[in-house]
Amino acid sequence: MIGLPLEVTLPRLRGIRWRYCTKWDEGPAAILGMSLLRLGICQANDWSGSAVDFVEHGFKRFCSQNHVAAAKRVWVGDLRITDSLFELTEQERNRVEAERGGMTDHLYLIGDYEAAASIPIGATLTRLEAEHAHLPAAFYEVFTTNLYKWMRVYDYLDAQEHAEMWMEDLSDEELEASIYRKVDLEIPACIKNHCKTVKYKGARILLREIRPHTSVARELIRHLREMDAHGQGHEHAWPGQISEKGVPGIETWLSDAEYSRPGCLITWYENDAINACFDEEAQPNVALPIRLGKSAKELDEEVRRIFDHASAMLRSLASAAKIVELVRDLYDEYLREHRLESGLPAEPGPAGVREEQL
């Protein structure tokens, strides 16, 4: 037997929100949202009925205004506002909220990187050395000093530390065949001979005074000076600067994670000894707490300071992205001249990140 067709009624869903947040999310977002509105980061027309959405709309516009699209061409990471430094499962979050007995009085601006951007800088240093003997060391000093304000940088200094640790247990025969001994041998003379004498202050003066002959050198220096200007007055907001009193359990978490994940890997060329020593860890690079339990004036001052840091970070990394693209172009030119093929990975991986257009 075949029954009669069932009548099906579909309700109209117009005007119903597609996303809902709990009071644990809405409450802190409302406090932050009011501060962002007072500071002009959020606007009245960002309101759609949810404080979380209100903050999200303002934050996305803020990031766009500070050149996040340009930064994302090179840096693969995440800048977000969250209520916890730690990754929590749904069960862990429910338990934390139950134990807390109320809404959180802290939010955090978190910045971390999914993979390290690969920067094979050797060919660029050779070009700069043709302009001035000290220019490669000056460029490297200012570039890495500014990158360190926003991320952990893995370069030859990290590789040296890694190599020294592992070489201690090697026999003479193993040492002779080891990649670790190549770390020191592969350092370019323009860096090894001048890195101890060319310091940040003097490097900035040289970059300001030098008049390069080639357009690519002028462009590199121009972007580097822009990057340096954006970073002035800012220091790296390491998670380790947050006290155990402010965030219970942070010392254990930092100890377990040990290091922040590098945001970039600076090598002389692909597959060199630095690349062989490279490793990744799993701790955020930037963590700035937003303490909500303050007066409106004090909260606005703290939020302004934190968003100034975020603005400087995004603008600086946008300038740095232009430098990295030029560095990669110079490296590609070097490969063509020597009839070599690029080995930079096309997808995020443990050794670096680069997109290839085929």
- The C-alpha atoms of residue 104 and residue 242 are separated, in whole angstroms, by 16
pLDDT of residue 5: 60
Whether 113 and 263 have beta carbons less than 8 Å apart is answered as yes
Q: Would you say residue 41 has pLDDT above 80?
A: yes
Q: Which has the minimum average pLDDT: 54-63, 141-150, 193-202, 251-260?
A: 251-260
Cα separation, 281 vs 255, whole angstroms: 12
Please give the single-letter amino acid code of residue 232.
Q
Among 52-66, 211-225, 325-339, 340-354, which stretch is predicted with the lowest mean pLDDT?
A: 340-354
Q: Is the pLDDT of residue 352 over 60?
A: no
- Return d(Cα 258, Cα 256) in angstroms, integer: 5
* Cα→Cα distances 216→73, 196, 220, 329, Å: 19, 26, 6, 10
Residues 68, 316: Cα–Cα separation, whole Å = 10
Q: Are 147 and 153 in contact (CB under 8 A)?
A: yes
pLDDT in tens, 110-150: 998 988 999 999 999 999 999 999 999 999 999 999 999 99
Lowest-pLDDT choice from 89-103, 186-200, 308-322: 89-103
End-to-end CA distance of the chain: 60
Give the residue extent of every domain in the chain: 115-236+243-284+308-337
HEC-encoded secondary structure of the chain? CCCCCCCCCCCCCCCCCCCCCCHHHHHHHHHHHHHHHHCCCCCHHHCCCCHHHHHHHHHHHHHHHCCHHHHCCCCCEEEEEECCCCCCCHHHHHHHHHHHCCCCCEEEEEEEECCCEEEECHHHHHHHHCCCCCHHHHHHHHHHHHHCCCCEEECHHHHHHHHHHHHCCCCHHHHHHCCCCHHHHCCCHHHHCCCCCCCHHHHHHHHHHCCCCCHHHHHHHHHHHHHHHHHCCCCCCCHHHCCCCCCCCHHHHHHHHCCCCEEEEEECCCCCHHHHHCCCCCCCCEEEEEECCCCHHHHHHHHHHHHHHHHHHHHHHHHHHHHHHHHHHHHHHHHHHCCCCCCCCCCCECCECCCCCC
> What pLDDT score does 2 carry?
59
Angle, CA of 137, 203 and 284, to the nearest 5°: 80
Q: Is the pLDDT of residue 348 over 80?
A: no
For residues 338 and 148, the model is more confident at: 148
pLDDT band at 244 (very low <50, low <70, confident <90, very high): low
